[in-house]
Amino acid sequence: MRIWVAAVGARPREGFDELARMYLERIGGLLERGSKTGVEAPVFRTEQALWEAAERERARTPPVVVLLDEQGRALPSEDFARWLGRQRDDGRQLIIFAVGPADGWSHQSRERAALLLSLGPMTLAHELARVVICEQVYRALTILAGHPYHRAGSRQ
């Protein structure tokens, strides 16, 4: 399975980019090794460019495009991990998590997405949302791997 943490519009800023890169490296370490696995963080100028890139990546299974959107579903980390695990177990080859343009996603993009995902009711700067989704993907993969990073249930 491959993962993209994509952004549409603004380029990541210093500081935020370093944090995102740290989690991206950790994600890469948890994905199975091989020519068809890995993690990338592409930046696209427009929504259309994102969808065109996703279409070019069609393989045995179409990419699963998840748009970060304030109107989306908010999932606890464990539920998000289960969702990601189902995608992996169903043989999905590419999962794309995309942070949208400054004015939000178009209606057409929302309709095309496999999932609209909310990071919570608060509005986040796009650069921060990118870091948060990177961390949550990493957390989900550690939950699936049985790694102690998550530590849920150990709190009292």
- Give, in degrees to the nearest 5, the angle at Cα 147 between 67 and 86: 40
Is 28 within a domain? Answer: yes
The tens digit of pLDDT for each residue in 26-64 reads 999 998 765 567 999 999 999 999 999 999 998 888 999
Is 111 within a domain? Answer: yes
Is 123 within a domain? Answer: yes
Instruction: Single out the residue of 56, 70, 73 nearest to residue 114, CA to CA.
Output: 73
pLDDT of residue 102 exceeding 90: no
32's tokens: 């199975």
How far is the CA of 92 from the CAs of 7, 20, 22, 95, in angstroms? Answer: 21, 23, 24, 7
Is 156 within a domain? Answer: no
Nearest-10 crossing angle of helices 126-145, 16-30: 20
Is 150 within a domain? Answer: no
Range of lowest pLDDT (38-42, 105-109, 150-154): 150-154
What is the C-alpha separation between 115 and 66, in angstroms, rounded? 5
Q: How many domains does the chain have?
A: 1
**pLDDT at residue 145 in the model:** 92
Instruction: Single out the residue of 151, 133, 137, 145 nearest to residue 26, CA to CA.
Output: 137
Is 53 within a domain? Answer: yes
Is 138 within a domain? Answer: yes
CATH classification at residue 127: 3.40.1280.10
What is the C-alpha separation between 88 and 4, in angstroms, rounded? 14
- Phi and psi at residue 39, to the nearest 5°: -135, 140
Is 154 within a domain? Answer: no
pLDDT of residue 79 exceeding 50: yes
Average pLDDT over residues 10-28: 85
Most confident of 30-34, 112-116, 127-131, 151-155: 112-116
How far is the CA of 113 from the CAs of 16, 66, 106, 129, 137, in angstroms? Answer: 26, 6, 11, 18, 18
Q: Quickly state the pLDDT bin for 12 (edges 50, 70, 90).
A: low
Domain range for 85: 2-145
